[in-house]
Amino acid sequence: GQQLNQSPQSMFIQEGEDVSMNCTSSSIFNTWLWYKQDPGEGPVLLIALYKAGELTSNGRLTAQFGITRKDSFLNISASIPSDVGIYFCAGPQSNTDKLIFGTGTRLQVFP
Amino acid sequence: KAGVTQTPRYLIKTRGQQVTLSCSPISGHRSVSWYQQTPGQGLQFLFEYFSETQRNKGNFPGRFSGRQFSNSRSEMNVSTLELGDSALYLCASSLGGLTTGELFFGEGSRLTVL
C-alpha cells in the first residue's frame, strides 16, 4: 500500500533558525496535508494543498505540493519555542478514503 | 464552537479485559474516524464512521470495533486487550469525510495495558 516517508526524523535547532522538512511517497497523491501535534495534544491541521505545484503559506509556515505529486515540503521560518512538536504529512490513499499519515518529524527548538 | 471531546483521557487495563472509548465530534460533523498512535508505528487508521455507517476500515484485527450513534457520537471498543494495544487513541471529526483530509482531532485517550 501507499506509504509516506518523512525526513528528517528529528531536528534540534536554535530559536530563530529556519526549518525544512519533506514528505515523499512512491505513488501519487492528489491532496497533501500538514499537521502539527503538540505534546499531549491531538494533531492540528496547518496547511492543505490540493494542486500540483501549489505553494501555500500560513504565517511563518510555507508548504508546497510537489510537481510530481509524489512529495511535499514544509518550511518554517524564524522558529520560536512554540514550534516544538511533531509534524506529520498526510494524504488520502488513492482508490479508498483512508487517510495515510507520514512517519513524522519531531522538532525541538532551543532558546 | 466546542472541539472534539474524547473520554476518558487516561485509563489502565490488564490483559484480557475490554475497553470502550468515547468521542463527541464537532457539532454538525458527521464523519468520525479513529486512529491508534504508538511511538513505533506512528498514526494508524482504525476506521471511519459516517451517518452511523462504517465507511472505511484499517488493517486491525476484529478485536477493534466501533459504532456511531444518531447524534454522531462514536465509540470504539477493544476486546481481549493485549500489551501491544497500549497506545494513544485519537478520534477526529470532519464535515466532509477523509477525502478532504481536513480533520479535527481530540486530545486522545491514552490506554495502558498491564
Q: What is the DSSP secondary-structure string of A10-27? A: EEEEETT--EEEEEEESS
**Greater confidence, A100 or B61?**
B61
Quote the DSSP letter at residue B26: P
Interface with B, mutate which of A65, A97, A100, A106 (most B CBs under 10 A) = A97
Give the pLDDT confidence of B55-103 residue by residue, as tens digits: 889 889 999 999 999 999 999 999 999 999 999 999 999 987 777 778 9
Rounded CA separation B23/B29 (Å) = 12
Amino acid identity at A4: L
Given this model, what pLDDT does residue A2 score?
Answer: 61
| Closest-CA residue of chain A to B47 | A98
Bond from prior residue into B39 cis (ω within 30 degrees of 0):
no
CA–centroid distance for A48 within its chain: 10
Residue B106 has its nearest CB partner, among A42, A91, A101, at A42
In sequence order, the 6+-apart residues with CB closer than 8 A to the CB of A53 are: A64, A65, A66, A67
Whether residue A51 lies within 8 A of chain B, CB to CB, comes out as no
Q: Which residues of B touch A91 (CB under 8 A)?
A: 101
Residue whose C-alpha cell reads 497533501 in the numeric block: A32
Give the pLDDT confidence of A51-76 residue by residue, as tens digits: 999 999 999 999 999 999 999 999 99
Whether residue B55 lies within 8 A of chain A, CB to CB, comes out as yes
Q: What percent of chain B has a predicted confidence (pLDDT) above 90?
A: 82
Residue B45 to residue A100, Cβ atoms within 8 A: yes
Rounded CA separation A45/A56 (Å) = 13
Given this model, what pLDDT does residue B99 score?
Answer: 73
Residue A45 to residue B102, Cβ atoms within 8 A: yes
Residue B104 to residue A88, Cβ atoms within 8 A: no
**CA atoms within 13 Å, Cβ hemisphere of B8:** 9
User: Nine-digit cell at B26?
Assistant: 464537532
Q: Which residues of B touch A102 (CB under 8 A)?
A: 42
